[in-house]
A and B are shown apart, each in its own frame.
Chain A
Amino acid sequence: DAGVTQSPTHLIKTRGQHVTLRCSPISGHKSVSWYQQVLGQGPQFIFQYYEKEERGRGNFPDRFSARQFPNYSSELNVNALLLGDSALYLCASSLLGHPNTEAFFGQGTRLTVV
C-alpha cells in the first residue's frame, strides 16, 4: 500500500510568488493535516481537514490556505511568499479526525524562498 505522498519533493520560489503543495493521504484515510517544520525545530501545525471541512487552524497568517478534495487529497497554498516561509512542509493523514487517531507523515516538500 502506498503511504502518504507529497509533491513536489523540492521547490525553489522567489519572494512574492505563490506556491501550491499537494498531498495524497493513505487510501481510506479521510483526514489530512499540514505542518511547517523550520530547520532545527519541531513541526508547527497549520491546518487540519476532515471530510473536506477545515477542523483546525494553527497560528499562521491568511497567506496560508488549504483545501481538501472529494478524493481526500489536499492542497496547501501560500501567497506572497516570504524568506521566512522556507521550510519543510509536511502532510499527515489519519483514518479519522479525532485526537487519538494515529497520524502518518509523508516525506515532505522542501520549499526554499530566495
Chain B
Amino acid sequence: TQLLEQSPQFLSIQEGENLTVYCNSSSVFSSLQWYRQEPGEGPVLLVTVVTGGEVKKLKRLTFQFGDARKDSSLHITAAQTGDTGLYLCAGSRNNNDMRFGAGTRLTVKP
C-alpha cells in the first residue's frame, strides 16, 4: 500500500484543456513536494508546500496543500504539449525520508 495515493493514474487530454490531479494520504506531512519527471530523467522539483491550506501558483500551475496537511492537488490551466510527463507528489514527515506516490502520467495531445 502506497503511503501517498495519486489519482488519476493516467490522464490524456487535448491542448488547452484544464486538469486537476490529486495526492492523498491518511498521514500528516510536514511538507509536500510536487515533481515532474520526463522519461529517462530524474524528477524535477516544481514546488514545496509547507503550511496547511497553502496555495502556490507557478504560471499555469496551481498547487494546494490541504488544511490538515494530508492531501494536495495540482491544477493546470490551459494545458500545453510541453506539460506532458509524470507528475509525482512526495511527502516528508518528522523523520528524514521523503515518500513518493506512484505518479500521474499526463499526456497532452496537440
Q: Is the interface of B mostly helix, strand, loop or mixed?
A: loop
Q: How many residues of A contact B (CB 8 A)?
A: 30
Q: How many residues of B contact A (CB 8 A)?
A: 29
How far apart sit A35 and B101, CA to CA, in the bound complex (Å)? Answer: 13
Counting CB contacts under 8 A, is A107 at the interface? yes
A42: chain B residues within 8 A (beta carbon): 2, 4, 6, 88, 90, 100-103
B50: chain A residues within 8 A (beta carbon): 100
How far apart sit A35 and B37, CA to CA, in the bound complex (Å)? Answer: 14
Instruction: Please determine whether B96 and A50 come into contact, CB atoms closer than 8 angstroms.
Output: yes
Instruction: Please determine whether B97 and A107 come into contact, CB atoms closer than 8 angstroms.
Output: no
B43: chain A residues within 8 A (beta carbon): 43, 90, 105
Q: What 1/0 mask marks residues of chain A from 13 to 46 whose CB sits below 8 Å from any chain B CB?
A: 0000000000000000001010100001111110
Instruction: Please determine whether B92 and A44 come into contact, CB atoms closer than 8 angstroms.
Output: no
| Residues of B that sit less than 8 Å from A by CB | 2, 4, 6, 30-31, 33, 35, 40-45, 48, 50, 88, 90, 92-103
Sample 19 A-B pairs with CB under 8 A, ordered by A number.
A41-B102, A41-B103, A42-B6, A45-B100, A50-B96, A56-B95, A90-B43, A92-B42, A92-B98, A99-B92, A99-B96, A99-B98, A103-B45, A105-B43, A105-B44, A105-B45, A107-B42, A108-B41, A108-B42
